[in-house]
């Protein structure tokens, strides 16, 4: 299935909410987050998996159609005892977006697609095997964009990362490259555990943006405006981009300079990308 364009392809902020707390669904949708991820996986204890599905099923009819366009359901990982029941629920609710944690193969996506023909998938890459099969996962049908499970990846790889997670930068590059090759939306970076360290949240989001990510996962509403600010071009960037475009037009293909630096096709393309992001 060729996916139609989705607003979540351009979204830059995604907020998790536990499936077991329906009173927080509306608050999450009103938080300013572009997408809301109702979580059946990490936010739900092993003994509450069935209860979480029942709560989501009971609450789903009260959610408006417009709101459902912004909701992603994160199921449990393939291979767990809960995955099949999660797919059954997603099919019953006609979920538009399904986030699949610990995705490790093209076959897993195809298997989900057989059950959910009209659902777009966001595979989470958070294991060595997922990285190994990254290109085939990204190119599978119905994949909207990839997401990095940065904390699980560190554990799975036996890493102890610094505050900037420099040690998994290779994984970040691989997700961006695979997304480009598969011609899907830029990937979604993982969470920042801190909810109060605004500088750290902003730095992580800016780093993701510099790497070519298009969005970031959030665990608290306070992170949303910080992430959005990081992914939105600054006034200085917009001014620079406009001056580059103007200089390029004025030069009519001849050599031109902006701020004392030569501009060429890659620079002009970067300027156009900044203006496109500003209009997002």
189: number of Cβ within 10 Å: 26
Q: What is the pLDDT of residues 96-108, one digit of tens each?
A: 999 999 999 999 9
Q: What is the DSSP string of 200-258?
A: HHHHHHHHHHHHT--EEEESSTTHHHHHHHHHSPPHHHHHHHHHHHHHHHHHTTS-EEE
Q: What is the pLDDT of residues 177-206, one digit of tens each?
A: 999 999 999 999 999 999 999 999 999 999
Q: Which of 25-34, 112-121, 135-144, 237-246 has the lowest mean pLDDT?
A: 237-246
Q: What is the mean pLDDT of residues 221-230?
A: 97
Residue 5 has pLDDT above 80, yes or no: no
Tokens matching residue 197:
């360290």
Q: How far apart are CA 225 and CA 221, in angstroms?
A: 8
Give me the residues paired with residue 263 across strands: 256
Residues making up the annotated binding site for substrate are 74, 126
pLDDT of residue 18: 98
- Continuous segment of H or E residues that includes residue 265: helix 265-278
Domains of the chain and any CATH numbers: 7-231 (3.20.20.60), 235-278 (no CATH)
Residues making up the annotated binding site for Mg(2+) are 126, 152
Residue 142 has pLDDT above 60, yes or no: yes
Residue with the larger pLDDT of the pair 78 and 262: 78
Residues making up the annotated binding site are 74, 126, 152
- Scan for tokens 């060729």, then name that residue: 2
Positive or negative torsion for Cα 160, 166, 169, 170: negative
Distances (CA, A) of 84 to 41, 74, 79, 159, 198: 13, 13, 9, 31, 39
Provide the pLDDT confidence category of residue 263 given band limits of 50, 70 and 90: confident
Mean of per-residue pLDDT scores for the chain: 93
């Amino acid at each position: 299935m060729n996916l139609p364009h989705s607003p979540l392809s351009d979204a830059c902020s995604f907020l998790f909410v536990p499936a077991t707390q329906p009173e927080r669904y509306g608050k999450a949708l009103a938080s300013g987050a572009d997408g809301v991820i109702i979580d059946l996986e990490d936010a739900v204890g092993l003994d509450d998996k069935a209860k979480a599905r029942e709560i989501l099923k009971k609450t789903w009819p009260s959610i408006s159609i417009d709101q459902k366009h912004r909701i992603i359901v994160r199921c449990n990982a393939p291979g767990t005892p809960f995955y099949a029941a999660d797919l059954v629920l997603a099919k019953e609710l006609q979920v538009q977006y399904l986030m699949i944690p610990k995705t490790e193969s093209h076959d897993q996506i195809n298997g989900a697609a057989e059950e959910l023909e009209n659902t777009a998938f966001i595979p989470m890459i958070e294991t060595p095997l997922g990285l190994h099969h990254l290109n085939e996962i990204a190119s599978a049908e119905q994949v909207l964009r990839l997401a990095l499970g940065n904390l699980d990846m560190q554990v799975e790889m036996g890493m102890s990362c610094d505050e900037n997670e420099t040690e998994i930068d290779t994984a970040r590059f691989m997700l961006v490259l695979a997304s480009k090759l598969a011609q899907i939306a830029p990937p979604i970076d993982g969470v920042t555990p801190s909810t109060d360290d605004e500088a750290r949240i902003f730095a992580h989001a800016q780093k993701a943006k510099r790497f070519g990510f298009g969005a970031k996962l959030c665990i608290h509403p306070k992170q949303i405006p910080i992430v959005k600010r990081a992914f939105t071009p600054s006034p200085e960037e917009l001014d620079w981009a406009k001056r580059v475009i103007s200089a390029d037009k004025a030069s009519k293909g001849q050599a031109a300079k902006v701020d004392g630096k030569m501009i060429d096709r890659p620079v002009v393309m970067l300027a156009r990308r900044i203006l496109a992001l500003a209009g997002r």
